[in-house]
Chains A and B, each alone.
Chain A
Amino acid sequence: MWRFIAIRTLQAIPVIFVVITVTFFLVRAAPGGPFDDEKAVSAQVQAALEAQYRLDLPMHEQYFAYLGDLFRGDMGPSFNYPGRSVNELIFQGLPITAELGFYAMLVAVGIGVLAGVIASLRPNTAQDYVPMSLAMVGICMPSFLLGPLLVLVFGIWLDVVPVSGWGSTPGEKVLPSITLGAMYAAYIARLSRSGMLEVLSQDYLRTARAKGLPERVVIIKHALRAGLLPVISYLGPAFAGLLSGSFVVETVFQIPGLGRFYVQAAFNRDYTMILGTTTLLATLIVVFNLLSDFLAAWLNPRLRYQFQKGGK
């Protein structure tokens, strides 16, 4: 197991490095600088600004200087919000996005697994068709459509929840969490249904029933562990999806989180802000992919044997 963890972690480090490098040069390659929109400033002011943000140095020196700063945990000053550092802006948005992501994940896993398992217990009956059709609706209804529709119905017509904002009342968190989690709930429902169907027909479950265990114990203690493996492996990609989904949800519901910062930074050509958020988001995604791999390996010994003694 430790070997597996070590190999996977070592493989992940170059990925983060590649992301930082590609983003750095991609942003620099963009036509138009960050100060082009401003009213014509004198050459001196322009030079001072460029020196402040190290834009006067040759490209490779800028790059290594940035890597050095990043290594010390300093993402530099923001281009667009003078006097504020990227760290400051990110750590203002991150907790909000994390909270939203957490609730959305709860919605996705809770509803998804429940619906999938219920459907798998009586395949090809109404108990299967109803949740699975709902899952299909979830997959075909993107968050930027579902969100506004929920706002229209529950926020405006029925007027039962607030339509935007974050943090002043708990009711504000309901619609964004459902909107963000719905599509992943749908995928998880399909994954857990097919995973459970495969497991339910296996011999060891017949054995478990034969030795007189009640059906509830058979399902919860024996079938779920193997049947939900595909869901565990999906959690990493789902997390990445939630992060990019938060761009839309935070825009629709006007939530001041990281996703909205990112989209704004991209529009404003705020170099350091784009770099900082991309690095952070990429690292988070890579780390969560790793964690979901570890969890899957822990639950399914066959996966980690691949990495033992010579491996595959």
Chain B
Amino acid sequence: MSSETATISSTTEAMPKGVSLWQDAWVRLRKNKLAMLGLIVLLFVMIVCILAPWILPYGYEEQNLRLGAVAPNASHWLGTDTFGRDMLTRIIYGGRVSLTVGFIATAVALLVGVTYGAIAGYFGGRVDAIMMRLVDIFYALPFMIFIILLMVVFGRNLFLLFLAIGAVEWLTMARIVRGQVQNLRQQEYIEAAISLGLGPLAIIFRHVIPNVLGPVVVYTTLTIPQVMLLEAFLSFLGLGIQPPMSSWGLLISYGVESMEEYPWLLILPGLALSITLFALNFLGDGLRDALDPKASKD
């Protein structure tokens, strides 16, 4: 077996250098200015959020009641809130939470959706029919209402928030993966793997899933902003992140309370959320064009 692979790899070296899907996609992505801008903005936001505790001069709960709310100035670049807390610090710490929720809940959706879709698509037949029927039923459920209910009924903890949001977002992922796997299932290399005696699980995880990564990456990038919106929405209603923790949705809801006197308390966290969502959406659109040129742009 190992000697075989060795011969194969030595022959490929002799051939003209091939371009893999990912290299090809990267070349196309780099030409897309909006997507690259999105990528740069996103990386910048992420780095700032990760480094927050080491680069910020103020603590995020550090109050200065005598100062109160002041407009942006030299010592507080984005001003302070009604408790005299530095807004730049609060927005960056809020971003840490918003981004974490976005990434983790998306990871939950990714894990469940890809596994579910791959199993349904691979086995086909009755298994597929039952599994996808279930997805159809879930689709018809008014999930927003259920999430609100869950948060109210079982208290507002972060873990539940990940689960609840992940539970909504896996459905589309499962559908996409299932469609892709159905096509792959017919290909010769899968038959070869079966005749070599590999079990279905080994085939699914080693040979099928790596080949559906393209659409999965695209959809993941587009899911993160949706998840962040959902988190912000729940936090705005008072059902998501709870103080003293902070997130962009929560900061916006505080901002609304005093927007007449201190408009920057609403506008600045709003800008942070919108810009990040912009970056993610542009990057997602760009990735879709780069990885799957045939997919329509809707």
Contacts and interface: CB of A to CB of B under 8 A. Distances in A.
A282 B142 CA distance: 6
B145 A244 contact: yes
A142 B263 contact: no
Contacts, number: 116
Contacts of A139: 277, 281
A248 B153 contact: no
Contacts of A65: none
B232 A22 contact: no
B273 interface: yes
Contacts of A23: 146, 149
A142 B256 contact: no
Contacts of A197: 296
A142 B266 contact: no
Contacts of B193: none
Contacts of A289: 140
Interface in B245-288: 249, 252-253, 255-256, 259-260, 263, 266-267, 270, 273-274, 277-278, 281-282
A17 to B, nearest CB: 11
Interface in B68-87: none
A274 B149 contact: yes
A34 to B, nearest CB: 12
B149 A136 contact: no
Nearest to B140: A15
A198 interface: yes
A156 B258 CA distance: 12
B260 to A, nearest CB: 6
Contact of A286 (B140, B150, B274, B278): B140
Interface residues of B, number: 41
Given A26-B153, A149-B267, A281 B145 contact: yes
A148 B298 contact: no
A18 B278 CA distance: 37
Nearest to B274: A140
Nearest to B236: A144
Nearest to A22: B146
Contacts of B225: 140
B281 A15 contact: no
Contacts of B146: 22-23, 26
A256 interface: no
Contacts of B229: 142
A136 B144 contact: no
Interface in A253-312: 262-263, 266-267, 269, 274, 278, 281-282, 285-286, 289
B160 interface: no
A173 interface: no
A148 B259 contact: yes
A30 B160 CA distance: 14
Nearest to A19: B141
B236 A26 contact: no
B153 A145 contact: no
A156 B260 contact: yes
A141 interface: yes
A247 interface: yes
B27 interface: no
A290 B276 CA distance: 35
Contacts of B296: 194, 197-198
A149 B266 contact: yes
Contacts of B137: 14-15, 18
B40 to A, nearest CB: 17
Contact of A263 (B136, B237, B277): B237
Nearest to B273: A145
B104 interface: no
B159 interface: no
A230 interface: yes
Given A141-B274, A145-B273, A191-B298, A12 B140 contact: yes
A282 B149 contact: no
B297 interface: yes
A158 to B, nearest CB: 13
Interface of A: 11-12, 14-15, 18-19, 22-23, 26-27, 29-31, 136-137, 139-142, 144-145, 148-149, 151-152, 156, 190-191, 193-195, 197-198, 230, 240, 243-244, 247-248, 251-252, 262-263, 266-267, 269, 274, 278, 281-282, 285-286, 289
Given A11-B136, A23-B149, 16 more contacts: A14-B137, A18-B141, A23-B146, A26-B149, A136-B278, A139-B277, A142-B232, A144-B233, A145-B252, A145-B274, A156-B259, A248-B236, A262-B145, A266-B152, A269-B152, A285-B140
23 contacts: A12-B140, A18-B141, A22-B146, A23-B149, A26-B146, A26-B150, A27-B153, A30-B153, A31-B154, A139-B277, A142-B273, A144-B236, A148-B266, A152-B263, A194-B297, A198-B296, A243-B142, A244-B145, A251-B237, A266-B152, A269-B152, A274-B149, A281-B142
